[in-house]
Amino acid sequence: MAKFQRGKREPSGSSRDEGLEKSKTDPANRRHQLNTQSSSRGSDFGVPVLSYGKYTNFPEFKRRLENAALQLCPNIGNIIKDKEYESDSEVDDSEYDPATDVHGFQLRAFQERVSLKVKAAANKEKEKRILFGYIKDHLSLESLQRLSQVSNWEEIEDDRDPLELWKAIVDTHIGANTGMNVVDKEAARKRYNSVSQGQSTLIEYKQRFY
């Protein structure tokens, strides 16, 4: 005689859905999501998606991005920490003397150094595009919206220069409004007091910081 298995009753969806919606809007869960979320391209380095505003995770983003940049782009990865590219060394041609280079050894050595320099420059340009795309992939919609307001944003996107992108991120995400009026007003007051009297009008101050 065949046995009939009684199906399990599905739990009511209302309480479950309410819990999911609550977790999405809860500030603590929002912060946790932003600190742990990363794209598939950056999962090996644990770089979170950068958030903007009250729940910014910029310190964690910067710390992990420093490591990721150096591993992904060893020729230019220093820009996250140094905010500048390392200067390229010039090819020294002082050792090359055609009068004494009878067999052309000096010339070949010089040509090899020039070739290495050209290859290094090409690698840097390739890494610039890689790092630019990597950083942009880890920006939240809020961060992208804020960055789109900087004066040179179109130029940054056209040039795909990761250094200029990083500078813009630092300028817009350090000291950004937290969403708490008391904290933001106190930070604004300190910034205003730091402006030398007589060197900046109130209008200039607002244009600079807001």
pLDDT tens string 162-200:
999 999 999 999 876 544 444 444 544 554 455 444 444
- Lookup result for tokens 């950004």: 176
- What is the reported pLDDT for 112? 79
CB-CB contact of 76 with 166 (8 Å): no
Cα separation of 59 and 153, whole Å?
23
Residue with tokens 């919609």: 141
Whether the predicted pLDDT of 5 surpasses 60: no
Interacting residues of 99 by C-beta distance below 8 A, sequence separation 6+: none
Token digits for 183?
């904290």
Q: Is 99 helix (H, G, I), strand (E, B) or coil?
A: coil
Q: What count of other Cβ atoms lies within 10 Å of the Cβ of residue 150?
A: 16
The two three-digit tokens of residue 186, written as one number: 């106190």
Mean pLDDT of the region 65-74:
96
pLDDT at 204 (0 to 100): 52
Residue among 63, 50, 34 nearest 138 (CA): 50
From the CB of residue 91, how many other CB atoms can be counted at a distance below 10 Å? Answer: 15
129 is written with which tokens?
């595009």
Q: In the structure encoding, which two tokens stand for residue 184, read together?
A: 């933001």
Q: Return the closest-CA partner of residue 41 out of 62, 84, 71.
A: 71
pLDDT for the residue 175: 72
Q: Convert the pLDDT of each residue in 80-138 to its tens digit.
A: 999 999 887 676 666 666 767 667 667 777 777 777 788 888 999 999 999 999 999 99
